[in-house]
Amino acid sequence: MAEFDPRFDPSFQRGFAGRPAQPVERLVEIPDAAAPVAQRPERLVPEAPELPLEEDDEGISLSGNPWVRALWVIAGVFTIGGLVAQWQAQQLFSSQNGSNAIDYYVLPSILSTMSPWFTFAGLIAGVAVVTLHAVRWRQP
Amino acid sequence: MIRHPAVLLGAVSIAVIVGGLSFLWVSVNDYVNSPYPVSSTSGNVVLLRNGELAGYPPYESGLELTVIGVGVALAVATVFIAAITWRPRT
C-alpha cells in the first residue's frame, strides 16, 4: 500500500486508488456578509480634551496681550529717552559749568554711554512689536 | 519647579542690571572719593568736593555700563518672548 504524504491530500498523490479524501478536521466559519455586525463600543479611546484650535492655529495672540502693550511702551520710552539722554549729555559736555565731579564728568559720561543702548533697545522693541502685528495681519 | 523661560530670562536680566548698577555705584564712589591735589601743571579740572577744591581727571566708565546695557537688552528680549508666548486665560 502506497504511503501518502500526510501533508497533502492523497487524491493528488501517486498511488491513490479512489479512496475518499481525508475529512477536514476543522472548518473555518466564514461570516455572512449580510449578517448584522456586532455592536461596536461607543468609543475605543479615551475622549481627548477640547483644545483651543483657534489659538493654536493663529499662533500669537495679540488681542488683550499685556506684553505687546509693554513692548509699545518700551519702544516709545526707550527710543525717546535715549535720544533725550544723548542730547542732555551733549549739553552737559558743551556747557561744562558744573561745580562738582558728578555734574562735570560722571553724569555726561554715563548719559553718553548709556543713550545708544536705550535708543537701540527701543528701536528693537519697536521693530519686534511691528513684526508681531505684521505676522498676524490678514488682508480684510 | 519648572519655570517659564521668559521668567528665567527676566530674572537673569534683572540680576545683570542690578549687578551693573552696583558696579557703577562702586566705580563712581571710587572716582569721586579719589581726587588729585590741585595743581596748575597736572591738567586736571579743579572742582569742588565737600566745599574744598580738588583736581579730577575725566571720568572713564568701564565695563559696568556695558553690563547695564546688556541687562536692558535682555529685559527687552524677555518682554518680547512673553508677548509671543502669552495666551488668554480661558
- Cβ within 8 Å, pair A110-B58: no
pTM of the complete model: 0.68
Confidence of residue A117 (pLDDT cuts 50, 70, 90): very high
Higher pLDDT pick, B16 / A42:
B16
Q: Which residue, among B19, B41, B20, B23, has the nearest Cα to B31 in the 3D structure?
A: B23
Name the 3-class secondary structure at A93. helix
Which tens digits make up the pLDDT trace of A71-103?
A: 999 999 999 999 999 999 998 888 866 678 888
ipTM for the assembly: 0.85
**C-alpha distances in Å from residue B80, one per residue of A117, A123, A138, B49, B63:** 17, 13, 21, 45, 26
According to the model, what pLDDT value does residue A54 have? 47
The residues in B 31-60 lying below 8 A from A, measured between CB atoms, are 31-32, 35, 45, 47-49, 54, 56, 58-60
A74 lies within 8 A of chain B by CB = yes
Return the pLDDT at B49: 83
Residue type, A118: F
In angstroms, the separation between the Cα of residue B39 and the nearest Cα of chain A is 16
pLDDT at A25: 60
